Amino acid sequence: MDFRGKLILAPMAGITDTTFRLLCRENGADVVMTEMASAKGLLMQPERSRRFLEYREAERPIGAQLFGAVPGEIGEAAGRIREFGFDFVDINMGCPVRKVTSGGSGAAILSDPALAGKLVAAAVRGGGGIPVTVKIRSGAGNESETYLEVAQAVFGAGAAAVTLHPRTRRQMFSGLADWSRIAALKREFPDRVIIGNGDVRLPGDAFRMIAETGCDAVMIGRAALGNPWIFQAMRRQLLAPAGAETPLPPDAPPSGERRALILRHGEEMHMRLGDAGTREMRKHLAWYSRGIPGAAAFRGELVRVGTLDGFRAAVGRFF
């Protein structure tokens, strides 16, 4: 699994399901990941976890993300992930949500670099050769930024790559991601694969992050919401000759192409999940409508989108 030079779709709970991931892959994302799944849940209630781990061949390369704080569980779950055919397994050490950290998982692990190393060692052993990557924040709080120690521990235990989202656990999503931390991590581990993440929004931002930090790959999350085309736009900027004044490409394609993709998104969600899938499209429609005149009024109507016909009518009216 080679991450260098790649644009990676960030894992986002409740969003990056198989349908959305495939749309991103087809529009320029090089690598995708599932949303996080509990290692314990996967072992205790495999049927319920399968929903998070559904994927299709066309999505490859694809990683599955696990959260957990018990090395034995992470190790065994990594073995399952390999059996399911994923290309790599990622361990979540960045989620700041209380439901996850109260069990000692996610960003809570940043306070314990030794545990981070043990979790990766267990995943490497239990995963039977599948590459193990780790996604971290910069630390628990501003006074305790542990990302360098955590990276040291997980690389020492055999991690194939580290993604850094340089905000602390306490910051949640406030402020700006401090890319100088990504540069510091790359300086400390020049021969390792470092994936930069955080506030990569405009087409030129991926290029700028690589230029400013030296990171090997870029992970994009929120900028892809309602805009799976962002990857193509970023790729064009990456490929532009150095120093060339390239005009910024438009974020979104012509409206016909956009409408066709949105319809496909909703139709597939309905095929997979029935009307529940259509209701999930409300948030995607709100994202797709961003920046289009009349979007506020359109968003007000979305609570009434509940059937496939209603969804099609709404898309036909607005996009």
For ligand FMN, which stretch binds (CB under 6 A), given 90-98, 109-117, 146-154, 297-305? 90-98
Q: What is the DSSP string of 205-270?
A: HHHHHHHHH--SEEEE-GGGTT-TTHHHHHHHHHHSPTT--PPPPPSS--HHHHHHHHHHHHHHHH
> What sign does the CA torsion over 24, 26, 29, 30 have?
positive
Backbone φ and ψ of 139, nearest 5°:
165, -175
196 binds ligand FMN (CB under 6 A): no
Strand 132-141 with 62-67, pairing: unpaired
CA–CA distances in Å: residue 190 to residues 161, 182, 184: 12, 11, 10
Residue nearest to ligand FMN (CB): 221
- We find the least distance from the C-beta atom of residue 294 to ligand FMN, in angstroms, to be 25
Q: Which is nearer to ligand FMN, 35 or 267 (CB)?
A: 35
| Interface positions, 31-60, toward ligand FMN (CB under 6 A) | 35-36
Alpha helix positions (H), the chain: 18-26, 39-44, 46-50, 71-83, 98-101, 113-126, 147-156, 179-188, 205-213, 230-239, 255-273, 275-288, 295-301, 308-318
23 binds ligand FMN (CB under 6 A): no
Q: Applying CB under 6 A, which of residues 10, 161, 230, 269 lies at the interface with ligand FMN? A: 10
- We find the least distance from the C-beta atom of residue 242 to ligand FMN, in angstroms, to be 24
Instruction: Single out the catalytic residue among 36, 95, 184, 225.
Output: 95
Is residue 215 flagged as an active site residue?
no
220 binds ligand FMN (CB under 6 A): yes
For ligand FMN, which stretch binds (CB under 6 A), given 44-52, 115-123, 197-205, 261-269? 197-205
Q: Applying CB under 6 A, which of residues 29, 200, 215, 252 lies at the interface with ligand FMN? A: 200
Query: 250-289 mask for ligand FMN (x: CB under 6 A)?
Result: ----------------------------------------
Q: Applying CB under 6 A, which of residues 208, 222, 272, 299 lies at the interface with ligand FMN? A: 222
Known catalytic residues are 95
Site residues, ligand FMN (CB under 6 A):
10-13, 15, 35-36, 65, 92, 94-95, 135, 165, 197-200, 220-223
